[in-house]
Amino acid sequence: MLAQNAYCAYIYSYRGEVEYKKASSQEWKRLEGAAGQQLAGGDEVRTKRASTVEIALDTGSRIRLAPVSAFRLSGENHEQTSMQLHFGKFRAWVKKLTNKFEVKTPTAVCAVRGTEFSLEVDPQTSRTQVDLFRGTLAVKDNMGNELMLQEGRRLSVTPEGLGVPQQISKALENERQAGRETLTKEVGLAMSKEAVLGAAAEEIKLAEYQQGKSLIDVFGNRVQLEEYVMRPAADQFKLVVLDKRESRLDYFFYKGTFNTTLPTDLSLALRQMGGAPQSPSWYLTAYQTGRSNTIDSVEENATGGHPVDVNGNLDPSDDVASYFDSATDLYAPVAGSFYKTLFDYYSIQYNGTQTYAWAPNTPGVQSYLSSDITTTIFGGNANYNIEPSFPDGTFLHNRIRETYGTGDDFTQYDNYIIDDDGKPADISDFAGITSGPQYKESLLKWNFQQVITSSFFGGRKIDLVVEPKILIQSGLVQ
């Protein structure tokens, strides 16, 4: 029977949170102040996270308890020192004595003589790991099997019994290798997650490209494009085209007012917008267009719209031999009547300055002949000059320059037919045809760029790239 009450050890040093419990008490007390707390057989000590304690035994041996560990000093006398490690880890320096130094864990008993070793117990599995640095040590499992451990060896003992000893250095290398494998695996998982995030972002970006909201022009510059339709009123629609390139933002809108409530499917109404062989169910009564760089603007307003059989009016120049069928993107021939919308009133303004307008001589005009409308031009009708040209040879670059009054005031439209990369089309791309149905059909495969400069813009310009379909459909491109 070992002495339970006689002091046999003391706290040599500690750091962090260390608690002890006397054998006769149920209460754990935290070590405070200087070390030196004496321990007797039956006393227990435990450490919290990042805390250690060193205990000196009267026999001269010393143990150091690692963080998150708990042990019990069973007793010490001149014959035997014994203790119990419940869980955690301790390191021991045992003086070479004739007495027996014994440590018990849930799965093992170690008997040492003149040894430096460490002991670790897993609290969940009770697995005991013994590392022997110096001396000899006998390890026994719960079934009575015993093994003499060599210096520099590690031995694990589980509830199933003794393991196979291995060199500590090899065990450390195995641990490092296992650590490397864990690290490689976790790095791989982190990169996989990053790849998933990247793929999600890529998918979102891809959709923008597929919808044509983001383009790259021939110069390698970004073009951000948005087109949408609004319904300001039941009988109105408004198409907005927003174009952002480099540091400029330009927009175009077309707002149409119809004679009646528009259907949910706008295409039913709009396919007749450019005219139809029959009297249309839906026709524009007014429209408004706008082109702007958010500072300067060109606005058109037309009101008093009404359908007119242009093939039956007095103006032969507006006769229609074929019309654009938006359902097929092709031009269909016309024989007989063809109804287009004519507007009683029209005006165009540049930054609020009206440069051109007409009004009906009699409401309900049947043509745009001077007999039906009266035009008003900025600077006087007589001073108005319009000059179309193709300044770039065979490239499809059409320029229309209007001058007013003294000639100092002007507006100039540079219209380009460009491909998807922004390269201007050549006349040969249209087989030399620059007007008429064939031209317009071919035009659908290209893009329409319009650069508007004006003396009213203070040196700025409006630069728009749009698909031509709406322009053809609405009659804005003739």
Partner 1 sequence: MKKDYGDKKAIMAIMPFVLFAVQFALFATAASALDEKVRWTGEGKTDKASDSMNWLPGKAPGKNDYVVFGVRSSKDCSWDLDVKLYYLALTTNYKGNVRLQTSKLKVIRNVNIEGGMLDLQEGALNVGNRIYVGSGGTLELANGTLRVGPTGVLVDAGGTLLSTGRSKARITSVNRNKYYKFVVGRGNVNLSNSAGTEVEGSEGMTFYSRAEVGHADFVNVKRISPGESALKVFRVKGQELEPKGWTFDETVDKKTATQYARFEATETPDLDLKDSSAEDDASTLVSTVTQPVSVTEALASTLVSTVTQAASLTEAPAPALSTATAETVSPEETPFAGLTEYETAQAQAEFLPYLAVRFNGGQHFFQKEQGNLSGNLNVLASMVIKHEKLGPKWAIVPVISSQYQGTKQVTDLVGGGTLFQERMAHSLAVRSIYQLSPKWKLKPGLGYKWEFLKETRDESWGHGLFDYRCPSFSFEGEYAYRDPFSFTIGYDFYNIGFVNFSSLESIIKDSQGNSMARELAGRSVLDSSNHSLTFGGTLQGPWRSYAEGNLVTTLRLFPDQYVVTQTGDFINSTRNDISSQLSLAWRIPREISGNWKAVAGVRLAAGFNTSNQNSYDAQRFMYLKNYYDSTSIRAGVDLSLNKKRPAGQSGGNEERPLAISLSATLGRVEYSGRPAQDASGLYLSDKIYQNEAVLGFDVSYHIAPHFVWTSQFGYGRQTSNQNFEKLYKYNFSTTNYRIGFSYEY
What number of chain residues touch partner 1 (CB under 8 A)?
Answer: 112
Largest CA distance in the chain: 134
- Token pair 């805390």 is at which residue? 51
Cβ proximity to partner 1: between 95 and 213 the closer is 213
Other Cβ atoms less than 10 A from the Cβ of 92: the count is 25
| Closest distance to partner 1 from the beta carbon of 237 (Å) | 8
Q: Which amino acid is at 179?
A: G
| Closest distance to partner 1 from the beta carbon of 11 (Å) | 19
Label the pairing between strands 108-121 and 385-389: unpaired
Cβ proximity to partner 1: between 339 and 446 the closer is 446
Binding flag, residue 145, partner 1 (CB under 8 A)? yes
| Bridge partners of residue 223, in order along the sequence | 215, 245
| Closest distance to partner 1 from the beta carbon of 7 (Å) | 29
Half-sphere exposure of residue 55: CA atoms within 13 angstroms, side-chain side? 29
Cβ proximity to partner 1: between 154 and 340 the closer is 154
DSSP state letter for 440 = H
Using CB under 8 A, which residues numbered 455 to 474 contact partner 1? 467, 469-470
Write out the E strands in 246-338.
248-258, 284-292, 297-309, 322-325, 330-333
Using CB under 8 A, which residues numbered 172 to 191 contact partner 1? 172, 175-176, 179-184, 186-187, 189-191
| Closest distance to partner 1 from the beta carbon of 316 (Å) | 31
Ranges of H-type helices in 211-302: 266-270
Single out the segment in contact with partner 1 by CB under 8 A; choices: 214-222, 274-282, 390-398, 426-434.
214-222
Using CB under 8 A, which residues numbered 290 to 319 contact partner 1? 290, 292, 294-297
Distance CA 213, CA 364 (A): 41
- Per-residue burial over 439-461, b = 16 or more CB atoms within 10 Å of its CB, e = otherwise: bbbbbeebbbbbbbbbbbbeeee
Using CB under 8 A, which residues numbered 382 to 421 contact partner 1? 420-421
Find the binder of partner 1 among 3, 193, 312, 364 (CB under 8 A): 193
Find the binder of partner 1 among 148, 321, 431, 433 (CB under 8 A): 148
Query: Three-state DSSP class for 462?
Result: strand
C-alpha closest to that of 456 among 373, 371, 348: 348
Binding flag, residue 114, partner 1 (CB under 8 A)? no
Distance CA 334, CA 202 (A): 49
Single out the segment in contact with partner 1 by CB under 8 A; choices: 217-225, 308-316, 331-339, 424-432.
217-225
| Closest distance to partner 1 from the beta carbon of 159 (Å) | 13
- Per-residue burial over 400-419, b = 16 or more CB atoms within 10 Å of its CB, e = otherwise: ebbbbeeeebbbbbbbbbbe
Describe the chain by its helix, strand, coil percentages, rounded to 5. Answer: 15, 50, 35
Binding flag, residue 113, partner 1 (CB under 8 A)? no
Whether the Cβ atoms of residue 299 and residue 289 lie closer than 8 Å to each other? yes
Single out the segment in contact with partner 1 by CB under 8 A; choices: 97-105, 167-175, 391-399, 424-432.
167-175
Question: Residue 192 is inside which H or E element, if any?
Answer: helix 168-210
Find the binder of partner 1 among 104, 153, 397, 440 (CB under 8 A): 153
Using CB under 8 A, which residues numbered 122 to 141 contact partner 1? 124-125, 131-134, 136, 138, 140
- Token pair 């009547």 is at which residue? 337
Binding flag, residue 98, partner 1 (CB under 8 A)? no
Find the binder of partner 1 among 36, 60, 212, 432 (CB under 8 A): 212
Find the binder of partner 1 among 351, 353, 367, 412 (CB under 8 A): 351
| Closest distance to partner 1 from the beta carbon of 52 (Å) | 8
Distance CA 287, CA 56 (A): 99
Using CB under 8 A, which residues numbered 228 to 267 contact partner 1? 228-231, 239-242, 244, 246, 249, 251, 253, 264-267
Using CB under 8 A as the criterion, what x/- string covers residues 34-53 for binding partner 1? ---------------xx---
